[in-house]
A and B are shown apart, each in its own frame.
Chain A
């Protein structure tokens, strides 16, 4: 497809379980970002990947959160031992050069 895709679109999990969220960026886009939007809040930056460089993890809220990007394309965001405050919409975006970031539809995570 032409745009950023994310899966799953919805995820319901129990507190304490681990979850994995996937992002397929636009083909050829070298930069990839993860954001999250909690209820009533703006989007919050989590992590940034650029090519093969080490990721910028400065936005990750705790060490339960991690992400990887394999082969410079697909990325997976992993949340270990989920908590109720992790409930949010997790959005992925990709960018080419210094152009605009293009967002995927997001994954709505609900932690019960």
Chain B
């Protein structure tokens, strides 16, 4: 049962434009959300996170927005760069559940074209 869903398997964006990656979740107990970036043959790399007590967190070119009522979060990358091309995974965890074990979406493959 997929509790975290990324409905867009792929996304193509021009360099300099905004990339918006979306994620939906079904478990209302989730209280911590993360985005990971993954290159081929490498492990996921932490990108940015947000606690359920916030609705926005910003780190440089990356901003994560959380809409708890809609059980939706999104990652904005502005401006997009070719080096951002990778698979992006949305993940969520619940306090006290298997030590904050992460529930992952299936990922969105982002391609940033020059």
> How many B residues touch the partner, as a band?
20 to 34
How long is the Cα–Cα vector from A105 to B42 in the complex, in angstroms?
5
A56 to B103, CA, bound (A): 15
A interface majority secondary structure? strand
The answer to the question of A62 belonging to the interface, with a C-beta cut-off of 8 Å to chain B, is no
Kindly state whether residue B44 has any CB partner on chain A within 8 Å: yes
| Interface-central residue, B2, B4, B98, by most chain A CB under 10 Å | B98
For the complex, count residues of A whose C-beta is within 8 A of B.
Answer: 27
Query: Which residues of chain B have a CB within 8 Å of any CB of chain A?
Result: 2, 4, 6, 34, 36, 41-46, 49, 89, 91, 98-107
Q: Can you identify 22 A-B contacts, CB atoms within 8 angstroms?
A: A4-B43, A6-B43, A31-B99, A33-B101, A33-B102, A42-B6, A42-B105, A43-B91, A45-B103, A56-B98, A56-B101, A100-B49, A101-B46, A102-B46, A103-B36, A103-B44, A104-B43, A105-B41, A105-B42, A105-B43, A106-B42, A106-B43
A residues at B contact (CB < 8 Å) = 4, 6, 31, 33, 35, 40-45, 48, 50, 56, 58-59, 91, 93, 95, 98, 100-106
